Structure 1
Amino acid sequence: MTRAEHGARDGGRLVGRSVPRREDPRLLTGRGQFVDDLTQPGTLHAQFVRSTVAHGELTGVDLSAVRAVPGVVAAFTADDLRLGDITALLDRPRGEFVPTAMPVLARDRVRYVGEPVAIVVARDPYAAEDGVETARVAYTARPPVTGEDVALADGAPLVHDEAPRNTLVDVRLFASEGIDEIFAAADRVVRVEARTGRQNALPLETRGALAHWDDREEQLVIRTCTQIPHQVRTVAARCLGLAERAVRVVVPDMGGGFGLKCVVGREEIAAAAAALRLRRPVKWIEDRKDALTASFLAREQHYTARAAFDAAGRILALDADVVCDMGAYSCYPFTAGIEPLMAAAEMPGVYKVPAYRVRGRAVATNKAPSAPYRGVSRPQYVMVMERLLERAARELDLDPVEIRRRNLITDFPYTGVNGITYDPGSYRESLDLCERALREGGWYERRRAARAEGRHLGIGYACFSERTGYGTAAFAQRKMAVVPGFDLAEVRMDPGGAVTVTTGTMSHGQSHETTMAQIVADRLGLELARVKLHQGDTDRIAYGWGTFASRSIAVGGSAVRLAAGRLGDKLRALAAARWGIPAEETALGRGEVVRRDDPGTALGYPELAELAYLRADLLPKGTEPGLSATAAFDVFTDGTFSNATHGAVVELHADTGRVEILAYVCVEDCGVAINPRVVEGQCRGGIAQGIAAALFEQVTYDAQGEPSATSFMDYKVPTAHEIPEVAIHHLEMPCAFTETGAKGAGEGGTIGAPAAVLNAVNDALRPAGVELDATPITPETVHRALHPRHYQESTR
């Protein structure tokens, strides 16, 4: 079903329409309230003394000079604050998972450059920075572990003494019976080895927190930019030794997160501890250097994979080894298993893979720890699967699109060799439409003409699915000690008939104020302006898992719709009681309840709300005053699966090695799109981040463990000039088991872009007989591929 057909079917409904974003007037006119916009009387400012060595014993922290700096109010070490550690756990045996504690402030040992060692609190940010510079920290250096190869080498230094061979996670999954025999008998076996660079999620707003003690409520209030406010509350309470009731986390407007903010950081806990100790408000705002070097990073992965094919190009078996460099610590709550377990569980993706074996490992190194980043391993393993298909197509002399058609899942529901059941999707349709768009755009003819002229033009594709609506059952398969999944919602009508929605999700740019309001307004027949969303306050809703993994509309939106429906039932019951008829004989209209037997008779919501609140004396016996309803929603299947195909056209400039993207096509299917324009914004933003991974962004470390990218001079972020116009086409296969039919759209753009761009680059390099298997693809790499003799001669 197309979007146009959906809109025609539903007439004037708000769901499915690109209504303007309700957030924009506030955010675009500078009236947003971000953490750094907030202040309180007497606010102090915090910054951190950070480790200058990658690995060493912490032998002394002298803060006496710090405390003497004018304007400095206090300075604390780990021994001063005595906080509990942040420890993320998996319910797996010791051979599969090694738990490691992450202290809020380093105690006896430092494990990466930038690790927080002490917190300095001052009257203004400048005095805090001055204080940090006077700290004296003594180390006994240890040899740093700077990469996977060093980490796994015999006799390597240990990042954590309790983790042999620096291995935090080592899981072997599936191992289909007879897989070795399948490979031995296959017509063709192809192999790829792929590496992806370490990245920074780079939200526009860096991390930050403003904490204060509220004497009246007897609460520590932490205002912070997090995707998971309830988990921050849980960890803060545990680290500080407080009851959870005594901690309140409030999230104001947030300028992006992308996964970096869906784990609990150390700095916001330390700032809250300082506020609790001093009984004064304490604010910490991360500067860009710390954000680039000492914040959570992601993506550094190494794959060795092989696939067996028959003579017709059909996959017979897949065998893979996945190693993820997770940095110095496990992130909370997902642990260091977040990337290898994602890759291992879901690598077959959209393709029929009869036999499968995989090993997934997370290794510890002396680098800033890793957190989820938009897509979580899917951009990497999709790139590996697409490379295997491209290589098989070349070796079997098949068209790259045709080999994909022969392997795509087309019959649903489909249970894969990985034990996951995929709900209906449009895998084949999205590939067909993407190819048609590029052919009708004339790009195949242009490629032919370019090659005749000696130019390097290539076309690449990537097909993928994205598990979005992870419910409790899906997360439980990872054996996390903390199991996300469900979400809660409350819908409350005030005495004037307006509605406030409270949900456990947390918007950081996804337009929830618009899309959640569309869902509720449709369900109750209200004008959009009569619905207001409230998120990000742990005192307003019992518990919520926040926003990550494209879950907000699929899970949180379903809870919101259920709650709105229950409020509608209360309105109908109230009207029915006034009329003396059964509730079944009433229906919700446009802001009113109508009689089914006499549609001209109606009671408006304001009238019913006034009755419920202000004239309780007129309520039927046994009817509670007020109008509110709550609901919970969980996905009890293996999840919902959005899908897409991306197609990229690139030209390689032989003189410079620059990769220019000439065209980009995205065909996406996220089920019912609550707001198509919002979905397109998510696609474009995600594709920009995927292109950044493919061509530009990378954090490297030298032999001493020093990070290379300390500013935007070194960390190459693409601008609007490097990101092409993206043509987006929509398909719609509604989800059968979410309340809205939506599947989720947040991460898809990022997942397909690296593979599509890499495949296009390799297509352009084909006449040169060269193939690349690593990202980012730098101009030097391309130049070397196009001019191998030049580099051979220069090294003689």
Structure 2
Amino acid sequence: MTGGQDGAREGEGRLIGRSVPRREDPRLLTGRGRFVDDIALPGMLHAQFVRSTVAHGEITAIDLSAVRAVPGVIAAFTAEDLKAGDIVARLDRPPQEFVPTAMPVLARDRVRYVGEPVAIVVARDAYAAEDGVEAARVRYAVRPPVTSEAAALADDAPLVHAEAARNTLVDVELFATDGIDEVFAAADRVARVEARTGRQNALPLETRGAVAHWDDREEQLVLHTCTQVPHQVRTVASRCLQLAERAVRVVVPDMGGGFGLKCVVGREEIAAAAAALRLRRPVKWIEDRKDALSASFLAREQRYDVRAAFDANGRILALDADVVCDMGAYSCYPFTAGIEPLMAAAEMPGVYTVPAYRVRGRAVATNKAPSAPYRGVSRPQYVMVMERLFERAARELDLDPVEIRRRNLITSFPYTGVNGITYDPGSYRESLDLCERTLRAEGWYERQRTARAEGRYLGIGYACFSERTGYGSAAFAQRRMAVVPGFDLSEARMDPSGAVTVTTGTMSHGQSHETTLAQIVADELGLDIDKVRLHQGDTDRIAYGWGTFASRSVAIGGSAVRLAAGRLGDKLRALAAARWDVPVDRTALGRGEVFRRDDPDTAIGYVELAELAYLRADLLPKGIEPGLTATASFDVFNDGTFSNATHGTVVELAPDTGRVEILRYVCVEDCGVAINPQVVEGQCRGGIAQGIAGALFERVTYDAQGEPSATSFMDYKVPTAHEIPDVAIHHLETPCAFTETGAKGAGEGGTIGAPAAVLNAVNDALRPTGVELDDTPITPETVHRALHRRHYQESTR
């Protein structure tokens, strides 16, 4: 074991695998959390943005004279005033596959969506800033907007960016297996699904925000912001503002959710920093909910046209997919507009043994707010489509929908798919079997038969999927990103009191890092968890990190933390061994001390060793340096790790309203070693709630002029606790061979499986009507029409 820890000495004290209470909760639940909006600095000013009121147009004039005359307004800046550089994200792909587009910090000559920031107003208080925004006068030469992917790809479509022909930012064709057309021609059945998914908002409880100020002593711009990627914000801020990276410090306080929305760099936080730099006074910007709903980063609006060839026994023979993702007006940094189509194209075969595959993935620009990654990133969509294909094939081949899945699931590992990805061991078949057994044992199949006999519409649906987690540098490099995320760095430091501070380049926004990473360190060092403190979210205190996204925090960040703690343990053992004049391999760690393996009663406590390392350097043995610190890095150089799950759902449809009620939800998940099972369950439940939201409720639409329809919670339908069912969670455990703890990621799985499971259950309930639905969200109007059609058919027989 790394660090020479003696598991027998710890005995029942091991923390990994235990539901240790969240260490964050006492602070957060008693109002002692510190979020961006809690920050108040002397002389602080407040900023808001003048935003475009048209979706597409040339800016012909900006008049801020009345703004500057508003009482309390200190300054108002246009792009010309700030002179900040553009935010540009790139892929290292040829021009026919990727077109880079510059996103200005403030719009200069043209606006490309309603809500695009045109100017920043800085005032003594937030109210004066809002008054100043109202006084701005901007004139536009309005152009026709592009408001759908179909309109964007039309031959005569207006161009959102002149450099992007047919409004196409990404266009890749991958994995075209030789002879795939002949496979389809000879297949016994070809199932086809055409599906669309609605545009969504990640909707973190805390909206975006920033507080920026110039520190004269450090000659540094300090930017407090709620971001998942502090080092990436530092890089972009330094480039846009022409500062050395050393001259920019990004600090993340407590953060109320992110879900991917905050893992890209926003223009507003850079503009607020530019204003603070210009005025040499602190500037705060807090996004209001209207802007968060309509002008922040959105996601999920995708169109799929997919065929699958099957033999007579229900085995899949080939998959042919065309994916178009509406990415809005700009590429996000650092992932670009390729984030959604490349994810879908690379990973669509998922948990199934697909022998032949061809896919085209496109990202198109429209006059809508730009898209960013959102929990799951295309996997909720392509899993939904794959699961619909199996349901459709099962019906056409007269097979049980669970059995057809069994015949196609990957069961032999490691498995290298037709997409070139190697899947590490998982419990794909086992999770499906347990999920089905659970629903059968609870009597839901009998209840369904009874309901149908009574004319009620009750359906059962499943979704099988994997969640690729622990993306390392190799996996991101396959997408040919110009900025390649992957590794993480950690430092473990013991102070003279024997307490340990460990750093991580990941960034918690609700995932319990302060608890789970401390569990890893405490176990590695044989130390009480109360002696461990995690530090995150400060670019001056953490050497470098890629932040938190793609379920990487425990898989990548946790591995780096464990290695750093192990190396710190090695230093403690070396110091004790030198004191005893014995070989290091005769020492071990446990219960806050180093002890001799050959004489366990001989031990030196960490406090004594720490005092020696810091306070009595004169007594240090030759060759032992003062201090107790250690650093480590971790990366995954294969295709990543794969968590997996099966979701089973029971729904009932109300014929009078079309309402979908979820009666039962079962999740069988396998994320490898669960560091803290309660935290894993919290991730599952939260993800499932967001997946249900996409399946049944949430959608941002636009009118013909590009005006967003959902600018408040009156229009953007968010599920409440009443609509989210209790979720039964069962754990399986297939330890990961590629991480230091055996853990795989668990952050996105709930969201990935829920839309498919819910949609399949709705279609199972609708089976007597002969109607099938493939689009989400599934609105009551859609369900009501389907049921009305059934009643009409019966009444006219």
**How far did 1:129 drift?**
0.1
TM-score, normalised with respect to structure 2: 0.98
Query: Could you report, residue by residue, the CA deviation over 1:198-220 in whole angstroms, capped at 9, with x for unpaired residues?
Result: 00000000000000000000000
Q: 1:321 to 1:663 in 2, by over 3 A?
A: same
Matches within 5 A, 1:29-428: 29-428=30-429
Instruction: Point out where structure 1 has 5 or more consecutive residues left out of the alignment.
Output: 1-5
Deviation at 1:737, TM superposition (A): 1.2
Alignment-derived partner of residue 702 in structure 2: 701
The superposition leaves residues 425-459 of structure 1 with CA deviations (integer Å, 9 ceiling, x where unpaired) of: 00000000000000011000000000000000000
Q: Give the whole-Å Cα distance in 2 for the aligned partners of 1:192 and 1:781.
A: 18
CA deviations over 1:274-295 (Å, ceiling 9, x no partner) = 0000000000000000000000
CA distance in 1 between counterparts of 2:792 and 2:743 reads 52
Percent identity of equivalent pairs:
88
Q: CA deviation at 1:790?
A: 8.1
C-alpha change, 1:270 and 1:556, in structure 2 (3 Å) is same
Amino acid at match of 1:635: V
Q: CA, structure 1 residues 10+751, in 2 after alignment: closer, same or farther (shift >3 Å)? A: farther
Q: Distance in 1 between matches of 2:582 and 2:191?
A: 71
Matched position secondary structure for 1:379: helix
Is 1:445 the counterpart of 2:446 in the alignment?
Answer: yes
Counterpart position of 1:561: 562
Counterpart CA distance in 1 for 2:350 and 2:565 is 35
Query: Deviation at 1:621?
Result: 2.1
For residue 183 of structure 2, give the secondary structure of its aligned residue in structure 1: helix
Give the whole-Å Cα distance in 2 for the aligned partners of 1:29 and 1:195.
Answer: 43
Task: Report the Cα offset of residue 12 of structure 1.
Answer: 3.0
Distance 1:790 1:44 in 2: 62
Once the two structures are TM-superposed, the CA of residue 791 in structure 1 deviates from its matched residue by 9.0
Match of 1:662 in 2: 663
Give distance in 2, aligned partners of 1:192 and 1:585. 64
Q: Look up the match of 2:3.
A: none
CA offset digits 1:760-780 (Å, max 9, x no partner): 000000001000000000000
Asked if the contact 2:255/2:508 (under 8 Å) is kept, the reply is: yes
Question: What's the CA shift string for 1:674-709, capped at 9, x where partnerless?
Answer: 000000000000000000000000000000000000
Question: How do residues 737-756 of structure 1 correspond to structure 2 at under 5 angstroms?
Answer: 737-756=738-757
1:601 matched residue in structure 2: 602
Q: Deviations over 1:737-795 (max 9, x none)?
A: 100000010000000000000000000000010000000000000000000278999xx
Shift of 1:11: 3.8
Q: Describe the superposition over 1:566-606 as per-residue Cα deviations: whole angstroms up to 9, x where unpaired.
A: 00000000001111111111111210000112110100000
Distance, in Å, in 1 between the alignment partners of 2:194 and 2:223 is 45
For 1:477-488, what aligned pairs fall within 5 Å after superposition? 477-488=478-489
1:384-783 aligned at under 5 Å gives the runs: 384-783=385-784
Task: Tell me what 2:789 maps to.
Answer: 788
After superposition, give the CA deviation of every residue in 1:408-427 in whole Å (9 maximum; x if it has no partner): 00000000000000000000
Quick check: 2:121–2:129 contact (8 Å CA) kept in 1? Answer: yes
Give distance in 2, aligned partners of 1:301 and 1:613: 58
What does the per-residue CA deviation read over 1:636-690, in whole Å, with 9 as the maximum and x for residues that have no partner?
Answer: 1100000000000000000000000000000000000000000000000000000
Structure 1 residues 670, 200: closer, same or farther in 2, change over 3 A?
A: same
8 Å Cα contact 1:321-1:358 kept in structure 2: yes
Task: Tell me the distance in 1 between the aligned counterparts of 2:749 and 2:59.
Answer: 43
CA displacement at 1:541 relative to structure 2 = 1.6
Which amino acid in the other structure matches residue 735 of structure 1? C
Q: Secondary structure at the match of 1:292?
A: helix
Which AA in structure 2 matches 1:109? R
Shift of 1:542: 1.6
Distance apart, 1:10 and its partner CA: 7.3
* Equivalent position amino acid for 2:290 in 1: K
Q: Is the 8 A contact 1:784 1:791 kept in 2?
A: no
Tell me: CA distance 1:458–1:593, structure 2 relative to 1, closer, same or farther (3 Å).
same
- Please list the CA deviations of residues 13-68 of structure 1 after superposition, one character each: whole Å capped at 9, or x if unmatched: 10000010000000001100000001100000000000000000011111000000
**How far 1:623 sits from its partner (Å)?**
1.8
Q: Secondary structure at the match of 2:734?
A: coil
Amino acid at match of 1:591: G
The C-alpha deviation readout for 1:595-621, integer Å capped at 9, x for no partner, is 112110100000000000000000112
The residue type paired with residue 93 of structure 1 is P
Give the counterpart letter for 1:446 in structure 2.
R
Separation in 2, partners of 1:301, 1:67 = 43
Letter in structure 2 aligned against 1:367? K
5+ residue gaps, structure 2, are 1-6
Distance 1:284 1:681 in 2: 31
Relative to structure 1, the CA distance from residue 790 to residue 105 in structure 2 (aligned partners, 3 Å threshold; closer, same or farther) is: farther
Match of 2:777, as an amino acid? Answer: P
- Please give the alpha-carbon distance, in whole angstroms, between the structure 2 residues aligned to 1:498 and 1:239: 40
**Distance in 1 (alpha carbons) for counterparts of 2:697 and 2:193:** 22
**Paired amino acid for 1:691:** I
How far apart in 2 are the matches of 1:516 and 1:214? 32
Distance 1:548 1:429 in 2: 28
Residue type at the aligned position of 2:599: D
- Give 1:192 shift: 0.5
Secondary structure, counterpart of 2:407 in structure 1? helix
Q: What do residues 115-155 of structure 1 show as CA deviations (whole Å, max 9, x unaligned)?
A: 00000000000000000000000100000000011000011
Contact 2:769 2:789 (8 Å CA) reproduced = no
2:120–2:271 Cα contact (<8 Å) kept:
yes
Deviation at 1:166, TM superposition (A): 0.2
Q: Structure 1 stretches (4+) deviating beyond 2 angstroms?
A: 9-12, 788-793
| Aligned partner of residue 564 in structure 2, secondary structure | helix
| Matched residue SS, 1:254 | coil
Report if aligned partners of 2:769, 2:790 keep a CA contact under 8 Å in 1: no
One-letter identity of the residue aligned with 2:661:
E
Aligned to 1:3: none
Kept in 2, the 8 Å contact 1:653–1:659? The answer is: yes
Distance 1:88 1:207 in 2: 20
3-state SS of 1:775 partner: coil
Contact 1:205/1:255 (CA < 8 Å) preserved in 2? Answer: yes
C-alpha contact 1:612 1:627 (8 A) present in aligned 2 = yes
Give the aligned CA root-mean-square deviation in angstroms: 1.3
In structure 1, the partner of 2:29 is: 28
User: Match of 2:4?
Assistant: none
Q: For residues 372 and 227 of structure 2, what CA distance do their matches in structure 1 show? A: 13
**Cα pair 2:176 2:359 within 8 Å, conserved:** yes
TM-score by length of 1: 0.98
Q: Residue type matched to 1:697 in 2? A: E
Are 1:765 and 1:786, in contact at CA under 8 Å, matched by a contact in 2?
yes
1:200 and 1:296 in contact (8 A); partners too: yes
Q: Any idea what the Cα deviations from partners look like across 1:458-498, whole Å, max 9, x if unmatched?
A: 00000000100100000000000000000000110000000
